[in-house]
Structure 1
Amino acid sequence: MTEKRWVRRPEGSNWGDFGPDDQIGRMNLLTPERRLRAIREITHGETFTLSLPLDHPGGNTLFEYRKEPRFFYEKRGPAHNYNFRLSNVCGCFSDVVSDDAVLLYTQYSTQWDGLSHVGQLFDADGDGMVEKVYYNGYRGGIDIVGPDDASEGQGAKALGIENLAVSGVQGRGVLVDLDARYGRERAIVGYEDLMRVLEEQRSGVETGDFLCLYTGFADLILEMGKQPDKELLSSSCAVLDGRDERLLNWITDSGVAAICADNFAVEAYPAKPGPGDTYPGLPLHNHCLFKLGVHLGELWYFADLARWLRGHDRWTFLLTAPPLRLPGAVGSPATPIATV
């Protein structure tokens, strides 16, 4: 490895543009002026929760390596510290207390992908050898350390989700109502399709905006009552076409700070085969997380907000969506709030 983290950056990336040690990517575009612009979107003072219940989708059929939350309760003397009556020598305390703990997969339900979530095999040193590399040249096994890399000190030493948390995740959201056009039909949405919907809505996207995609996928999950039908879900609702170069170029040029969708991966997965012998299996994740530092939100819930926005013939709102400030995590649950 060279003294610098990289001497080559991927084609089309912005590595180094926000500084050699940047860890928040395009969240840097959320300036105070742009936040003030977003606050001016509020005209009614109504709020909408954009999170699924965090025990959804239910089970692990949607993605076998992520499991629903499990609760635990600590013992306190002979009983558990739940519905536990406090007492003292005189027995005069009347308080009853409850504590709990939870085993929570950070990307099981409504979530943020951290920039340490998806990297690539890439020759960042320019020596003809590929390495495991993440946004801005941070390295797998050095900066992002897993249990197969070391016996202790694991986690994202760089690009952890806590960096997103402290960046101030608040700005203008722009909802794209793909559900109104495609309904539950499976649709692979490319650049022209997305532009058509934006034109029909008479809405645009500006630098620093959060692009929010309503497809109806999360609504379908809720209807399944924690018994997800993987085959039906994989053949329903709109997803972005991560292989569409025009779409990827538009994401670059638009200046969006993040992309948030109500579906499983924002993009079609598995994607269509790519060019050459090796290529990213998640091309939009590669473009956003690895190259540009554009965070991705997945499995958000937009139905109530979309209904209100349709009724008021507008598509913009104030979005407040911090992740957990959990050092070393590569993703995080979220409970985003839209204010209109």
Structure 2
Amino acid sequence: MATKRWKLKPKGSNWGEFGEDDQLGRLNLITPEKVRQGIAEVREGRTFCLSLPLDRPGGNALNPRRHPPVLRPTLRGEAVNFLASDGAAPDVLCDDLVIMHLQYSTQWDAFSHVGGRFDVDGDGVDEHVFYNGFRAGQDITGPSDPQDAGVRSGMKGESTSRAAKLGVENAAVHGMQGRAVMIDLRAHLGDGRTYVGYDELMRVMEADGVEVEQGDMACFHTGFGQRILDMAAPDEDVLHNACAVLNGRDGKLLQWITDSGVSALISDNYAVEGLPAQPCDHDHEMCSNLPLHEHCLFKNGIPLGELWHLTPLAEYLRAEGRTRFLLTAPPLRLPGAVGSPVTPIATV
């Protein structure tokens, strides 16, 4: 199926499956029926907040390009608009702003977060493209001058980059609410660094009787979020060498993601997949540094949730002999953003 944007599509991709202009990808599988299935999992009405405090993991040892949020008061004329009173009324007012790296803490990755170089025109020249063939420089734009990037003094809120297509706001409008399934890797693998491929994943799921059906959101509990909360200060060894990660190089695992019909992958670790990725198993073509991101975001329109706080929920579900729950997790409706903080709520 050729479209106005591409004649060829990457091997293993689902481009065009939901229409040539689709921006929701597998989120199309979170249907009203899937929402009702999630609601049917609610027995007690008990809720779990699945977000870390948004100033965690702390520092920038996990990713040197991302820093904790900065809260500042707004201005009231030339005065600080915090604990402010005009003296003529009893009101005391506080108003603030935040400078925030959107993917610093608990987050969703949008499809515009990771694209690829691929010859979509069939002319022998690779283009920079994203899910469903949307183009860099046309649909996803940004500055080339470092002066127009990062945080600098005197910022007045101007926008220099924008995902006119595939921005995170599409997921916000869709709702991001439905049935989710907990896969408890920590319970079987502990807190050591383990690259989890298809075979290991199937053993865990079989041992716990976990079933993932089309449209479900899959949550992988590794304990990493809890390790972050338990640290008094960021420990680089823990941040880079603890807990289970999915092995994005495992072709059988990627095929399971495709075949399962899963609508989103979520983990409490840094990137869902292991970074650095395992060595590439072939030399005749380029290998992505982020193979699971490539498979999910670029090829199949499957959003990734990272750095969630899953341990209390996972422990509750295990004690109750359950694996499914209602998940409500819309990102910010921030037009053009390639990722977003999120405060997910699980209801059981």
TM range, normalised to the smaller chain?
Answer: over 0.9
Match of 2:297 in 1: 289
1:94 correspondence with 2:90: yes
Match of 1:124 in 2: 120
Q: Which moved more, 1:77-86 or 1:195-204?
A: 77-86
Q: Distance in 2 between matches of 1:280 and 1:314?
A: 36
Contact residue 118 and residue 286 of structure 1 kept, 8 A: yes
Match of 1:114 in 2: 110
Q: Distance in 1 between matches of 2:86 and 2:330?
A: 35
Q: Distance in 2 between matches of 1:114 and 1:54?
A: 18
Change (3 A) 1:28 1:83: same
Q: Distance in 2 between matches of 1:99 and 1:234?
A: 37
* 1:232 CA displacement: 2.5
Contact residue 46 and residue 339 of structure 1 kept, 8 A: yes
How do 1:242-261 and structure 2 match up within 5 A? 242-261=248-267
Contact residue 86 and residue 97 of structure 1 kept, 8 A: no
Kindly tell me the number of residue pairs found equivalent between the two proteins.
Answer: 334
Q: Residues 15-41 of structure 1, C-alpha deviation per residue, up to 9 Å, x if partnerless?
A: 011011111110000111111111100
Sequence identity percentage: 55
Change (3 A) 1:149 1:172: farther
Contact residue 73 and residue 94 of structure 2 kept, 8 A: no
* 1:131 CA displacement: 1.1
Q: Secondary structure of the equivalent of 2:317? A: helix
1:15 correspondence with 2:15: yes
1:324 correspondence with 2:320: no
* 1:229 CA displacement: 1.6
Q: Secondary structure of the equivalent of 1:83? A: strand
Match of 2:153 in 1: none
Q: Residues 139-193 of structure 1, C-alpha deviation per residue, up to 9 Å, x if partnerless?
A: 1111111111898763111100001110110011100111111111111100011
* 1:74 CA displacement: 2.5
Q: Distance in 2 between matches of 1:41 and 1:94?
A: 48
How do 1:218-237 and structure 2 match up within 5 A? 218-225=225-232, 227-237=233-243
* 1:86 CA displacement: 4.0
Q: Secondary structure of the equivalent of 1:273? A: coil
Q: Distance in 1 between matches of 2:267 and 2:175?
A: 20
Code of the residue aligned with 1:273 in structure 2: it is P
Q: Distance in 1 between matches of 2:132 and 2:65?
A: 27
Code of the residue aligned with 1:180 in structure 2: it is A
Q: Distance in 2 between matches of 1:24 and 1:222?
A: 33
Match of 1:311 in 2: 319
Code of the residue aligned with 1:60 in structure 2: it is N
Q: Residues 184-221 of structure 1, C-alpha deviation per residue, up to 9 Å, x if partnerless?
A: 11111000111111111112000000100000111111
Q: Residues 123-151 of structure 1, C-alpha deviation per residue, up to 9 Å, x if partnerless?
A: 11111000111000011111111111898
Q: Residues 282-334 of structure 1, C-alpha deviation per residue, up to 9 Å, x if partnerless?
A: 00000000000000000000111011111101010000000000001000000
1:203 correspondence with 2:210: yes
Q: Which moved more, 1:51-60 or 1:140-149?
A: 140-149
Q: Distance in 1 between matches of 2:6 and 2:299?
A: 13
Contact residue 269 and residue 306 of structure 2 kept, 8 A: yes
* 1:75 CA displacement: 2.6
Change (3 A) 1:290 1:77: closer
Match of 2:156 in 1: none
Q: Secondary structure of the equivalent of 2:262? A: coil
Q: Distance in 1 between matches of 2:212 and 2:81?
A: 50
Match of 2:170 in 1: 163
Q: Distance in 2 between matches of 1:269 and 1:78?
A: 47
Q: Distance in 2 between matches of 1:20 and 1:280?
A: 25
Q: Secondary structure of the equivalent of 2:59? A: coil
Q: Secondary structure of the equivalent of 1:319? A: strand
Code of the residue aligned with 1:303 in structure 2: it is T
* Among 214, 220, 225, the residue aligned to 1:213: 220
Q: Which moved more, 1:66-75 or 1:258-267?
A: 66-75
Q: Distance in 2 between matches of 1:246 and 1:252?
A: 10
Please give the root-mean-square deviation of Cα atoms over the aligned residues, in Å.
Answer: 1.6
How do 1:22-171 and structure 2 match up within 5 A? 22-77=22-77, 79-87=79-87, 91=88, 93-148=89-144, 154-171=161-178
* 1:116 CA displacement: 0.2
TM-score by length of 2: 0.93
